[in-house]
């Protein structure tokens, strides 16, 4: 028996998902360009000047320029990029524990990573200046990738472990104000469950003697998972749950350092797992 015409018709809500999300992506690209292009002109000008000064031995001036660029780029991104993009898809970002954080001090923010919306949520809430530890592949992204280095973000090559470790140790010696944000799983989860943690954030915190701030991001996976990348679910909530800062002791030998990295990793994972379990299921 031939199927009736109605059996071949996709429900309206499903049939409109792809074109609506294509429109959202196009509008997001427009917002990113409008906010990012003028900002790029500013930070590349100051960054180029800083590089020239660094060549002549004034490395501290480059550090100060990168600190200003991080604040400026973060301020622009927060007000003219992240918040408008979240509004575009009617995603609300809620926080828990943010009022207990001393944002005047520096922290190594260790967050889970389930969606590209994690970045938007963090940028919309964390006071500038902040710096993300970003994978090298992102440098190819228009506007966003071009911003990373001149805005003082920390770019690592995940394909080269020794280079990545060296970069983390090198950046730990720089003058960095504000928050440094690590996605401690190293990549986005495909299932919404926590992946094993990488150790770079904990080495960085030990090198700088900076407190770790476990930060659980709940709800972003239900907004947009890694696969399929285009299936955005608007109108949902993302919650940032800021945990209890973890003090970082001084260690003076490699055995003690290895043990302390493992302790910090486990303590951070415990806080993230507990916070995610307490969050409403999306």
* pLDDT tens, position by position, 180-220: 999 999 999 988 899 999 999 999 999 999 999 999 999 99
Q: Classify residue 6: in a domain, yes or no.
A: no
Q: Classify residue 2: in a domain, yes or no.
A: no
Supply the range of the domain harboring residue 230.
Answer: 11-278
Model pLDDT, residue 174: 81
Q: Classify residue 5: in a domain, yes or no.
A: no
For residue 199, count CB atoms less than 10 angstroms from its CB and return exposed for 0-12, middle for 13-18, buried for 19 or more.
Answer: middle
Model pLDDT, residue 113: 96
Strand ranges for 70-114 from DSSP E: 92-96, 108-111
Model pLDDT, residue 138: 93
Q: Classify residue 3: in a domain, yes or no.
A: no
Q: Classify residue 227: in a domain, yes or no.
A: yes
Q: What is the dihedral of CA 28, 38, 136, 120, to 10 degrees?
A: -40
Model pLDDT, residue 279: 92
CA distance 78 to 80: 6
Q: What are the residue ranges in the chain where pLDDT is below 70? A: 1-16, 229-230, 282
Q: What's the domain count of the chain?
A: 1
Model pLDDT, residue 13: 54
Q: Classify residue 4: in a domain, yes or no.
A: no
**Which of these, 37, 69, 34, 35, lies nearest to 51 by C-alpha position?**
69
CA distance 223 to 91: 8
Q: Classify residue 142: in a domain, yes or no.
A: yes
The CATH number linked to 134 is 3.40.1130
CA distance 135 to 132: 10
Q: Classify residue 38: in a domain, yes or no.
A: yes
Model pLDDT, residue 92: 97
């Amino acid at each position: 028996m031939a199927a009736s015409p109605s059996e071949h018709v996709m429900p309206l809500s499903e049939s409109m998902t792809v074109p609506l999300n294509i429109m959202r992506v196009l509008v997001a690209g427009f917002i990113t360009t409008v906010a990012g292009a003028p900002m790029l002109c500013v930070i590349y000008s100051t960054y180029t000047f800083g590089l020239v000064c660094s060549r002549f031995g004034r490395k501290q001036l480059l550090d100060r320029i990168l600190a200003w660029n991080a604040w400026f780029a973060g301020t622009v991104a927060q007000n003219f990029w992240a918040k408008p993009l979240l509004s575009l898809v009617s995603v609300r970002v809620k926080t828990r524990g943010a009022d207990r954080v001393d944002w005047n001090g520096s922290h190594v923010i260790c967050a889970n990573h389930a969606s590209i919306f994690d970045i938007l949520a963090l940028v919309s809430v964390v006071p500038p200046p902040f710096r993300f530890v970003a994978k090298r592949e992102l440098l190819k992204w228009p506007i966003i990738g071009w911003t990373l280095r001149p805005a003082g973000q920390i770019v690592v090559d995940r394909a080269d472990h020794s280079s990545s470790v060296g970069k983390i140790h090198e950046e730990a010696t720089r003058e960095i104000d504000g928050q440094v944000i690590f996605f401690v799983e190293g990549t986005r989860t495909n299932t919404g469950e926590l992946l094993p943690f990488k150790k770079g954030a904990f080495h960085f915190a030990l090198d700088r003697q900076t407190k770790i701030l476990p930060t659980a991001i709940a709800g972003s996976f239900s907004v947009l998972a890694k696969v399929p990348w285009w299936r955005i679910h608007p109108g949902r909530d993302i919650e940032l749950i800021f945990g209890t800062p973890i003090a970082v002791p001084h260690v003076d030998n490699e055995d003690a350092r290895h043990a302390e990295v493992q302790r910090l990793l486990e303590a951070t994972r415990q806080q993230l797992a507990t916070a995610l379990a307490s969050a409403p299921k999306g």
